[in-house]
Structure 1
């Protein structure tokens, strides 16, 4: 069993190539690593609140900075506890870098094109222009990577994916070989869908899926607006924190010049400073993990849902185009069949051409009927899958939003309780003196 100290190990700077880890009981993976860098030990304090499946759980922590001659990157420890027959061991501890997570998502999206595959954090812009080796960037990415894995293993279909099993269990050497072997196939299969021209508009009014599109668009806009407003409030709080410290220092300095009320002024000054520190501790320091990061993550998640719906829309467009082609051929056949016989001397030749056209159309139309039926079956199947996926996503969204808002409320409660307690203590002391 890993201790709390092991979970909270700092980021390591390693000058050797990453070593593979075979299935084992969790141990401190960095005992033999050469040097520590100056990352705070609380980098693993950012814990997502997620509901796990009973038979598999994942945890991402212990980021390490790897320095190689041609590149520098961060790896993360991925611990998996599993109780399934297709997993030989109960627990796996491996290390993966960000590009490995990208590989997993690409393969999962290719394997299940009609499923909503959760998003990954952006490559370099999670927190604006922050250094990608800074504490804020690494800790935020670590939380998002764990959230991605947790969503995948909780999904009733994606959790059975063979690529996921390899990702969670293979050591570094095995994983590198597996990635190399599947790279060519992934490139050939990528972007195989969505080949329909986006300039084509569906002829049918979609009473079922149009409201979903509108909801996703509106939700994305509202979350983006909330994130912008929250960023402004966050900036103002940081300014308030600085000014509060200045105000507290002014009261303390004033107390040295007013002997009759020196104690009261000093207590007020120190209380202002303490509340300013509480503001930073409960609201400012938690802003990224409790509010900004979850909002951005959900905007990305909405885009994944819209992308999946777009694939279903492509199948509808393909179906409608084939249906239009069938209707056109039938109309052409009726037109040829209903043409009056010409009264010219070349009547026999024209009649022969007409028969040939009718024969060709009689051969083409059944093929088009078969294509239309196939496209309709594919569309119906994809629509059914999307309904299931959207239902799962709505349940996940409800849980995630509840956790997000609860964390936000708790941080405010803690801050205001601290402030109320501090001022109440000052008033009581002043009343008794």
Structure 2
């Protein structure tokens, strides 16, 4: 069961402009890629940031971040994976190197080592502090693909890239980037992060939150605003479509790998054949060379799919799952407000205390709605950009691939035509 997270850290003043229903509508009969069209109007995300940093330097930095979003002052690199084997477990740590010009940091450069559990802690802390902001997803803890070894080089490299994307997205977020937990994650010496991790809510508090969230989930919300109903509908359709894209992309990669393996066998076969056919030796050697060059081009295209397309599609599969959790946390706040308002109506308890609680919950819900409304449009804009870039790059790579293969075979055929033209004609009977 998913644990409900406290709504601390949210803040904001004034309602935001509602999203147009047309911007969220999704017609299931239209082409799947209509989902990624660019014609929906987008709000200014940074101006709706629900939480401002508390220190003056942080506030100054965030104002600069909002006014000049292309001016980055925080650069993070995840590299140098290192395996650790103990009597109890085997795990991998990664070097997290940070360069920054922000005044709230004690230095301009930091380098620490972090393991997957540390990234998981950071994600949990950000969700606790900002329950209706869209915290980037982490790669799954375990990847099951037949008998894939968890700690082979390919798995570690794939995870390293995903962890790097996770931190980069946080650094680029107008609110999450100024989180104190994020700063601690980037700067705390390797042995000191454990002390910070112990400062989270205790087990009894988490159990109480879970029980309360389960009760509210059973009760449900009675009047979810239309814009959030539209978001929920969009998410359901988006999750289905991006899940289908993910399956198709994986199947294409699998078939491409099988195709490459078969091509690798054809080149040597033609080379051996050339040794047995003296009259056709040059032609067969030419075919073998063409097959080798096409095989290399196919491998490059396969690497491009595995490194550029699949990770992006997979990340948005995880985003779909994570956004469902964000919507649930927003609904929990509204359900709690409705429950208290109903109790106040029927005077089931001390009315003065209930009025105070209802007022606080109204403010909390308004902050949650404002945060989600702003982050939702920012996420949609990034989603369109990321998926469009991934598919465009894939299409361009495919065009180059087919051009290379076509040029290879055209050159071979032209050479064969010239050779045939120079040969004397056979004597006619």
TM-score range, shorter chain: 0.7 to 0.9
Q: Secondary structure at the match of 2:141?
A: coil
Question: Which residue does 2:366 correspond to in 1?
Answer: 380
Name the counterpart of 2:280. 261
Q: Which residue of 2 aligns with 1:281?
A: 300
Structure 1 residue 287 displacement after superposition? 3.2
Structure 2 contact 253–306 (Cα < 8 Å) conserved: no
Q: Residues 40-79 of structure 1: matches in 2 within 5 Å? A: 54-79=72-97
Could you tell me whether the CA contact under 8 Å between 1:116 and 1:389 is conserved in 2? yes
Q: TM-score, normalised on structure 1?
A: 0.73
Equivalent position of 2:405 in the other structure: 419
Is 1:158 paired with 2:176? yes
Counterpart of 2:41 in structure 1 is none
Q: Which residues of 2 match residues 247-326 of structure 1 at below 5 A?
A: 247-283=266-302, 285-326=303-344
Contact 2:333 2:361 in 1 (8 A): yes
| Aligned twin of 2:55 | none
Residue 368 (structure 1) shift: 4.3
Cα shift readout 1:91-117 (whole Å, capped 9, x = no counterpart): 112211111111211222222223221
CA drift of 1:230 comes to 1.9
Residue 102 of structure 2 corresponds to residue 116 of structure 1: no
1-side partners of 2:84 and 2:306: how far apart? Answer: 25
Structure 1 CA distance, aligned partners of 2:205 and 2:144? Answer: 29
Contact (CA 8 Å) 1:110, 1:186: kept in 2 or not? no
CA distance in 1: counterparts of 2:239 and 2:142, whole angstroms: 21
Question: Which residue pairs with 1:226 in the alignment?
Answer: 245
Asked whether the 8 Å contact 1:60–1:142 carries over to 2, the reply is yes
Residue 397 of structure 1 is aligned with which of 359, 374, 383?
Answer: 383
Secondary structure of the residue that 1:208 maps to in structure 2?
helix
- Is the Cα–Cα contact under 8 Å of residues 313 and 387 in structure 2 kept in the other structure? no
Q: Is the 1:107–1:186 contact (alpha carbons within 8 Å) kept by the matching residues of 2?
A: no
Higher relative CO (Cα under 8 Å, sequence separation at least 6) belongs to 2
* Contact 2:290-2:409 within 8 A present in 1 as well: yes
CA contact (8 A) 1:52 1:150 kept: no
CA RMSD of aligned residues (A): 2.5
SS of match in other structure, 2:227: coil
Report the Cα distance in structure 2 between the residues aligned to 1:147 and 1:188, rounded to whole angstroms. Answer: 34
Specify whether residues 368 and 93 from structure 1 end up closer, same or farther in structure 2 by C-alpha distance, changes over 3 A only. closer
Q: Is the 8 A contact 1:196 1:314 kept in 2?
A: no
Greater Cα radius of gyration, structure 1 or 2: 1
Shift of 1:215: 0.9
CA change 1:395–1:270 in 2 (3 A) is: same
- Structure 1: tracts of 5 or more residues without a match: 1-50, 330-360
CA–CA separation in structure 1 for the residues paired with 2:400 and 2:203: 51
User: 1:128 and 1:118, CA in 2 relative to 1: closer, same or farther beyond 3 A?
Assistant: farther
**How far does residue 128 in structure 1 lie from its aligned partner after superposition?**
6.0
SS at match of 1:204: coil
CA distance in 2, matches of 1:264, 1:273: 14
Aligned length: 348
Contact 2:81-2:95 at 8 Å conserved across structures: yes
Question: Structure 2 vs 1, CA of residues 203 and 68 (structure 1 numbering), >3 Å: closer, same or farther?
Answer: closer
Q: Is the 8 A contact 2:131 2:330 kept in 1?
A: no
Aligned partners of 1:190, 1:159: CA distance in 2, in Å? 26
Aligned residue in 2 for 1:239 = 258
Matched, 1:406 2:425: no
**Post-superposition CA distance 1:31-85 (Å, at most 9, x none):** xxxxxxxxxxxxxxxxxxxx98611011101111123343322111111110100
Q: Secondary structure at the match of 1:93?
A: strand
Question: Aligned-pair distance for 1:209?
Answer: 0.8
Change (3 A) 1:409 1:190: farther
